[in-house]
Every structure is written in C-alpha cells, then in structure tokens.
Structure 1
C-alpha cells in the first residue's frame, strides 16, 4: 500500500465517520491487531476530530465493558471474529455503531479467497449479520468520498487518544494524550534516530499499535519518516524470523522477550538477520546478556529506552551511535527534563541517590480521563511523577532500579528485583527470569525467583542459589526458586510480575483455609 492510497483510504474513512454523525471529541474505539484497517481507522478517526480509544483485541468482556463505558465510546471498529465478544460486553449499554472488518478484506489475491475457506476448515469462520447498527468496513469505504477532511483542532488542548494503562491496581485508568503530545513524542523519537534515511527505512511492526509504544515508535514514526511498515498481527518467532529473512527490515522496536525469542531460537543461524540496523527495547528492563547476544547475532544496534503511557510514552533512551552505558535507560529525549526526587517531599536528591523519577516535557499527558484526584497526585507543577525508583550519575545517565511498588523490603533491606534478574540472566541455562517479593512472617518479604530454563537444561535450585551467592550480597539472594514452562505476559511481551504476586497471595489464602 502506497502513502497515496493510504491517504485516500484515510479520507474515505474520515468522511464515513462524519456521515455516521461523529463530531469533534467523540470517542471511537479501535479493537484490531496490526493490519491495514487499523492504520486507516486510526488516522481517519483523528482527521474526523474523533478521540481514539485503542483497545486490546485479546480483552475479555469485563475489560472491554470497563474501557468502552469509562470512555463513553459510541463507535467501535473491530474484527468480525470479535463482534460477539463486544456485544456480550456491552449488553447493558449497546454501542450505536459497530464497524466490522475481516482479516481477508485487505489480503492480496488469492489469499483473500483462500482465507475464508481455511477459516471454515479449522472452525474459526464467523458469520456476521449486517444491519443499520453493525456495518461493513469495506462497504462503508466504497460509499465514502475521498475528498480531504479538515476539522479544526487545537493541538495542545484537544485529545487525540485515550490510552488505558495496564491497570496495576484495580481497573485501568484512561490517559488523555493530545495531538501535541503524540506529534512531539514522534518527532523526539525521530531526532534520536537522526541517521534515519527518509523514505528508505523498513519497520518491523511486531509491537501492537494498540500499545502506545508501538503507536509512537512504529506507526507514527514510520509515517513521519515515510518508512515502510511491515505489519505483523501476532508475534510468532518462526514467522518473524522468516519475515526478517525475506522482507529485510532495518528497524525492529520491541520488548525484551521478543529479542530473547530470537537469540534462543535453535535455528536462528539459518536466517539472514543482517538487515536489522536499529532496535529500541521498551516495556520492560533489557538484560545486558540479551543485548550483547542479540547484537552479536544481527550486527545491529540494540538500545534500551524508557517511557510510560502518561508520556506518550518515550522519555529516555540510550544513544544509538554515541556513548551508552550498560544497565542505563540513557539520557532524556530532546525538550525533556528529568530529575530524581524524594518520593514524599518532591525535593531533588543529590547525584547517585535513589529516589522517584519525575519528568517534564511536551509529551507529558493532559491528565487521567474523569479522574481529577489521580491527575493531581501524578502531575504536580507540570512534573509527571512516574512511580519508578531511579538514580542519575555524574554524566546525566539515568538508571531505573524498579517500580516503587515492586521494591522488596526483606529484613529491613531495600532490594531491587532488576539487579537480581540481571544476575540470573547471566547464567547460561536461564532463558527468562523475574523476581518478586512474597510474604514472610519473619522478614516481611522473601525474594522469590521465577525461572524459565533453556530447552535441554537441567540446572538445579542449589546451583542457581550458589551462582547468585557469588554475585550478590547475601540478603539479595533469592530464598525460593520456581521453575516454569513460561511466564505470564502482556501482548507486548512485558512480564506480569503482579500476576505472579496475585498467584502467591491466592496460595496463602488457600493455605489459610486448609489450616483452619
């Protein structure tokens, strides 16, 4: 798809929305995997003056219901396979319109013919009854004008996106991001990638666009750079390696688990990965061992960045071509200020001391949707309080120790999970590792390590404990080890530490019942 045909399609979709009665400020949910329809719907909704609500297509009805009701969504763009789930979620508050598309709609011939046959064969075929409320995406596009659409926008004040956070406590909060926020962060990220060749870069879009990291560093930045987007609807390592080998992407933003999957693939040497020049890792800490091995395999640069939904999301990154520091998230992006402050008083701390990271810049959100108290707590005098514990060195490089809520306090000692995870990742038999604090009646908390071993490995708990003892102070060494086949993750590949903690708490409750 060329940029010209994309623009025509975007104008058609914007005109279709206006014809359906959408007015400036109306919320439009997009619940799709990475596909052309998602790109068209996103930019079309923005051109029509709408506020996009990106929704994860893996959400269950309860999550859909909360998000669409909270944002007061009127229209959703979704897949035919998801219509039933959306309708079930919105039983008590039906949406005024469902714009429905199918995977086959933008597949080339003959795949568009073969796809429905394959779906019927494997039992995934879905039949949708279209009416005045449930409308066909393709039919809507055919009936719409491609005339340019221009709705007046105040870029600094008008919302472009309500992006829901991961919901670490209770239900997710809607982050209000303006057009200015998103454009600023796109340009800031592009300035970091200052050697980008306009019109020549190929972006491997394996990160989902419904996550703000993928939205900014892939969709918006690729369009800003006139780059080619290679859309990957779902990260599946065998398919991704084939795509890299065949399509030759030059830029591959991702999460650490994606790079881990690449370097541990048993046949990675059979694929040509040399086209990859630049990778920026986000969504979770990047272990040094993973960074070094990935760069060795691809000969490209893999840097760690940092951000959060409330900042559109990128605030820091390591230099791609200049000095970088292992274990650091790098330095602030252009026009971004950052400080380390006392979590309670907000007083700036001396260099090297650990405190809460706060940031200020044009990418920082307007606030939380319909949550003034949460906004007041998180935004103070223009500074965004991230909730992350960090320190800054004498050269201005920042280091994230952990989320404030993930800090483990055992026997009075402050323990940072990331430090222990780095040590575990260095072990040749460990593929993935995450560390969390579990309740202990004597020490307050105990350090527990959840381990996924490389295939064919048989390292014991005692051997891992000895490995840690040689590299960590005794109070940091995990007391408990749990070997697992996999770790719970978000679709972006971020390990859900809170899910593991919830499992531990559930075990305690069940044990208490047994004891009673």
Structure 2
C-alpha cells in the first residue's frame, strides 16, 4: 500500500490537529500539510511517471516532508540528499538515481548548480525555500491527481548512506520496508496521538525521517522539526513545545551535557528519548537522564539497509555496556561467525544477520554490491554483536575492529572504559598503522587543558577492565571531532588525519 495513504487517513480524521508544531511561528495542521502534498503532486502529475525519482537537497524543514508525501501521492520515489554533501557527492547521488525532479533550498543554489554541471543527468530543477512553502512554485492542490496505487514491493525511497568509506550507497526501501519499520517503532515506543516529537536527527537519515517524523505523522501526533543541530536550541524546542519524545545520537547527548545554556531549559516533559547510531557510555546516559529530566532513555539500533529500527531497548533492557535490546517483531536475526557462516553460541561474538519486512531488497542499480551484502535471504549487517538471554549486545563494526599484534580489539570497549575518566569529555578509538603490531590502538580525546597522555596511560594501567593489548598505544588530543551528516564521529577522517 502507498505510504501516503497512512498520512491521508490521519489528515481526514484529524484535519485541524497540528501535524508540525513551530514554537517560533505558525503550526501546520494535518489538512494544511496535505494541501502542500497535493500541491507537490499536482506539479509532478504531468512531469513524472510512477517510479520516477524526486530528489530533495534541502535543510530540515516541513517542505521536505511535503515533497515526500507529494511524491508518494504521485507514485514517485523520494530521494533525500544529505545536505552536508558537497557538489561532487551530490552529483554522484543525482547520477546514481537519475531523478526527473530536483527540489533544493535557495541556500544550496550554488552547490546545486555545481552538482548539476558535474552530473550527467538533466532533471527539472525547482528552487524552494527553507522558511516557507511556496505553493505557486508547485501547483494548485485542486489539480492533484488521485493517489497513485503502489504495491508493497514498489520502491518508496532511495536513501544514500553517508559515504565515509567510499561512494554513498543508494539503499532501496519499499513501501512495505518503511511501513513495517514505522509500525515497529510505534509499537515498541508506544507512540500515540498525544505525543509531540522534536526531530533533531536529519531528515535524510532513517533516525530522523522514519524514526521520529513518520512515526508521529502516521499516528496523528505532532512533530517539531529542528532545522540544524544545536544543543541549546534542541532544549528550547523541547521546553516550548512540551515535547514528549525526541531522538539523539550519543554525540548530541554529549553536546547537550557540555552546554550550560541547554541545561537551563525545562525539558522534563520528555517521557522518552531514544538514542542510537553509535555506542553510548553508561556515564553519559545517566548524566543526560538526570540533567534533562527524561523519564526513559531507550536504545534505537538500526541501519539504512533495514529502513531503521531493528533492535530496540525497553525498560527491561540491562543498562550494561553495549546492551542494544531485543529484535523488533518485523525482523529475524542470527549471530554468525563471518568466516565460517555458522551460527555462534550464546555469548560468542559474531556478525548480525537480518531478514524480514523492513530489510531492503537491494542497493540501487548495484547488483554486485547487493550480492556481497546478502547470504541468500540474510542481510549481513557488518556489525559484531553477541546474544545473552535474548538481549543483543553491540561489540563493534566488523570493519572497525582493530587487529593489533594478532589480537582483536573492539574500539567501543576501550571507549567505554576511557569515558569513565572525569577529565575526558569525549573519546574515539581507532586503529592506525604500526610497523610492529600492524595496527596500534589509538585514542583520540577531547578533554580539559590539564589532561595529559601520561594521566590517560596511568588510568588504563590501573583499570581492571582492559587487557594489555586493549590499552591505547597512541594518544592524540583534539579540540573537537569531525562529524558525519548524522552527527556520528567520523573515524575515517580521524584515521586520515593521524595517518
């Protein structure tokens, strides 16, 4: 079924309810948002065929949502481009999906022009504005066609991965993939029409678009779209909208804890905040929960290739290192020895394999890449986990495991230990070339001016939780970490920096 129908049902039932809340301006009701979607669909009607791609290169704002809904109504495929991409990467995305239509913000006019010059495709380009929806730039809502029938296996979204380890990968997400994932999130986190969610993870990311925005709009709730990340602004939006839900990556939580102005806002309306994208230190979770008055912090684990949520924390999930939670009902999981393909025993580390309603069918126009990602029906996630008493625990990315002197070191384990040091604000552990060991365990640290490498080494020597081969052989101090578009620490750039 066409995803647009899920939203349209709410628009018919709750036309005067605020779909998008704007503490600084005017709320957008479900009826008004549907009018915008119809306006987009009217524009697309004579310019596209079902299955054509519609790309959006825009900052996070309600127009992105209207473009997605309008594209689905017209039977098209929505492709959000990472607004942190430069012209070369945007050109790659455009050439990859060959969209009929590109909608971009005025602020990206120069980059979009450079990207279109570099790309081989020649789409129709529509310049929009982040601050306001201009219906005259699209079409008359009354001219919108009836919603186009799309079946479950038809493509709804092509969403590209961040590209930090090569060219961005275009992930095909069907109407069933997205619908199943959103249903799993609504059920897992008990999302109701009474909830208001502050969306701070970008809309080009599954955590922001699927994991918060669509969960809210498909239940008749409200969303607040955070235009660009800032810890104090996030806290203000939560306070002024009396939001009940938000989602953050751990780096954002660290930002909020380090921003005194963020702590000044009353965010105690939050009944739940889900977090994911990278491991979070227990000390960070405890401090964030206390500082911002969050009733529950629940883990959100997923990948673009599974349309987002696949493993979820619940109040019963142990608050121990690496605990992710249990698989959601839309997927089946295996923990597999990546070298033998055999299932691992309880408590053994292995690669997480997935299959189910939310797992992508393929990468866009990349059959060889798709073949490498699957073993039969099973998608190989690339994440190392272990299963204990039904709970999955994250160990690390398979590609991130450091091979040092013949031993395998999980960076997340070392990061968790180093995070216990009061003088360390943030840490990222990675492998760097070493003539004798192959790779040296390297800790990149953001900390106070008085922090020294000797102090870090002494802490590690005294800590019972680190084996000798896990202790950092190299310590680098940095003022801040480079971030990916989804606000994760960009370890690829750090590795290049440290050589």
TM-score, length-normalised on structure 1? 0.87
2 CA distance for matches of 1:377 and 1:176?
16
Separation in 1, partners of 2:331, 2:458: 43
| C-alpha RMSD over aligned residues | 1.6
CA contact (8 A) 2:336 2:343 kept: yes
Residues 151 and 163 from structure 1, CA distance in 2 versus in 1: closer, same or farther, beyond 3 angstroms?
same
1:293-304 maps to which residues of 2 (within 5 A)? 293-300=287-294, 301-304=296-299
Check if 1:466 corresponds to 2:458: yes
* Aligned-pair CA distance for 1:381: 2.4
Find the aligned partners of 1:169 and 1:272 in 2 and give their Cα distance. 39
Does 2:306 align with 1:311? Answer: yes
Secondary structure at 1:104 match in 2:
coil
Aligned to 1:484: 478
**DSSP-derived class of the 2:78 partner:** strand
Partner of 2:352: 357
Matched residue, 1:25: 51
1:134-213 equivalent positions in 2, closer than 5 A: 137-141=134-138, 143-145=140-142, 147=144, 149-155=146-152, 157-194=153-190, 196=191, 198-213=192-207
Whether the 8 Å contact between 1:158 and 1:178 is mirrored in structure 2 is yes
**Residue 52 of structure 1 contacts residue 160 of structure 1 at CA under 8 Å; is this kept in 2?**
yes
How far apart, CA to CA, are the structure 2 residues paired with 1:243 and 1:291? Answer: 21
SS state at 1:99 partner: strand
Q: Provide the rounded CA distance (Å) in 1 between the counterparts of 2:262 and 2:37.
A: 38
What is the aligned partner in structure 2 of residue 46 from structure 1?
72
Distance of 1:392 and 1:28 partners within structure 2: 41
1:223 maps to what in 2?
Answer: 217
Aligned match of 2:362 in 351, 358, 367?
A: 367
Which residue pairs with 2:435 in the alignment? Answer: 441
For each residue in 1:230-279, what CA deviation from the matched residue of structure 2 results, as whole angstroms up to 9, or x when unmatched? 11110112222222222221101111111111222234442211111111
Q: Measure, in 2, the Cα distance between the counterparts of 1:105 and 1:262.
A: 28
List alignment gaps of at least 5 residues for structure 1: 107-136, 506-516
Aligned ranges 1:35-74 → 2 under 5 Å: 35-74=61-100
Structure 2 counterpart SS, 1:222: helix
Q: What is the CA–CA distance in structure 2 between the aligned matches of 1:173 and 1:161, rounded to whole Å?
A: 13
Point out the more displaced range, 459-468 or 432-441. Answer: 459-468
1:235 equivalenced with 2:223 (yes/no): no
Contact 1:16/1:144 (<8 A) preserved:
no
Q: Pick one of 19, 28, 35 that aligns with 1:8.
A: 35
Task: Write the distance in 2 (CA, Å) between the matches of 1:323 and 1:375.
Answer: 33
What's the CA shift for 1:388? 1.1
8 Å contact kept, 1:286–1:304:
no
Question: 1:205-224 CA deviation, whole Å, 9 max, x = no partner?
Answer: 11111112211111110111
| 3-state DSSP of counterpart to 2:329 | coil
Check the 8 A contact 1:260/1:290 in 2, yes or no. Answer: yes
Q: 1:94 & 1:416 partners in 2: Cα distance?
A: 43
Find the aligned partners of 2:239 and 2:392 in 1 and give their Cα distance: 35
Q: Deviations over 1:27-50 (max 9, x none)?
A: 110111221111100111111111
**Per the alignment, in what secondary structure is the counterpart of residue 105 of structure 1?**
coil
Q: 1:34 aligns with which of 50, 54, 60?
A: 60
* Aligned-residue offset at 1:94: 5.3
Contact 2:352 2:383 in 1 (8 A): yes
Q: Specify the alignment match of 2:12 in structure 1.
A: none
Match of 2:15 in 1: none
Maintained 8 Å contact 2:310/2:330: no
- Provide closer, same or farther for how the CA distance between residues 323 and 406 of structure 1 changes in structure 2, counting only shifts above 3 A: closer
Question: Deviation of residue 163 (structure 1)?
Answer: 0.9
Q: 2:495 aligns with which of 488, 501, 506?
A: 501
- Structure label with greater radius of gyration: 1
* Count of matched residue positions in the alignment of Structure 1 and Structure 2: 467
Measured after TM superposition, the shift of residue 365 of structure 1 is 0.1
**Higher RCO (Cα < 8 Å, 6 or more apart):** 2
Which residue pairs with 2:127 in the alignment?
Answer: 100
Are 2:340 and 1:345 equivalent residues in the alignment? yes
